[in-house]
Amino acid sequence: MLQASFKQRARTGFVGAMAVTLMATSGCAGNSLTKGGLGGPTVTLVDTGELPGPNGEVGAAQGYEYRIGPYDKLIIDVMGIEQLSDRRVTADGAANISLPVAGVVNLNNLTIGEATDRVTQQLRAGHMRSPRVAVNLEETVSRYVTIDGEVQQSGNYPVVGGMTLMRGVAAAKGATEFAKLREVVIHRNVRGRQMIALYDLAAIRRGAYADPILYPNDIVVVGESPGRRMFQQFISVAPLLVSPLVAVLDNR
């Protein structure tokens, strides 16, 4: 109770000080800041302790279950059917696969469980009695997150269920020796709005706050970056962060 009260007071003090500073520096009330002069993006801080999911998910609703997309590689196995035993297929540009008896099966945006059900249904429609089907993901190219900045191996990495910020950085072979772990930014499109969030990876490792879930199309940048610099005005007010900073970008 005492710890929660302290965090609440710290956060309240931070928001109040931030508002005063922004009114003095940008000449407007509220918690928004325009960077880059005329035509530059407006960075509006959001009073939340987490970056919402792409559809606005927060709290316990956050989570990602892998969904099949174009050019994913799958393994289809139907027990007792030789021509459908351990069969490797690659989805086409519309996420269709072609199987004996079942014909063309569209698996676009289906979970593995839903894909299993659809293949089973189409095999039954092809007069196969009680097919026992297993669908497994061999390789994904359609759902990925971009990890960049001060990591050993930047690039695009497949997003499967349960991928988090720490796991994403680990997939990129970890941060470099002198990486700025307090300066990790996630870029995400949330309900058509571009949002960014500043995380302290070292604090997450200490258990100070939760390791955020990653979603397909997220961009993660470790260390100094344009996204990090957008938060500079806020950080100068409260350098000790007890939760992530989350903001909306408006480029209009």
Domain positions in the chain are: 2-64+143-250, 73-139
Which pLDDT does position 92 carry in this prediction?
A: 96
d(CA 248, CA 252): 12
pLDDT at 14: 33
Q: How much of the chain is in helix, strand and coil states, percent to nearest 5? A: 25, 30, 45
Full DSSP string of 70-131? TT-EEEEEETT-GGGSSEEEE--TTSEEEETTTEEEE-TT--HHHHHHHHHHHHHHTT--S-
Please tell me the class of the 73-139 domain: alpha beta
- pLDDT reported for residue 141: 86
Q: CATH for 2-64+143-250, among 3.10.560.10, 1.10.3720.10, 1.10.240.10, 1.10.1370.30?
A: 3.10.560.10
pLDDT attached to residue 179: 94
**What pLDDT was estimated at residue 3?**
38
State residue 241's pLDDT score: 60
pLDDT < 70: residue spans in the chain: 1-40, 236-241, 252
The pTM score is 0.75
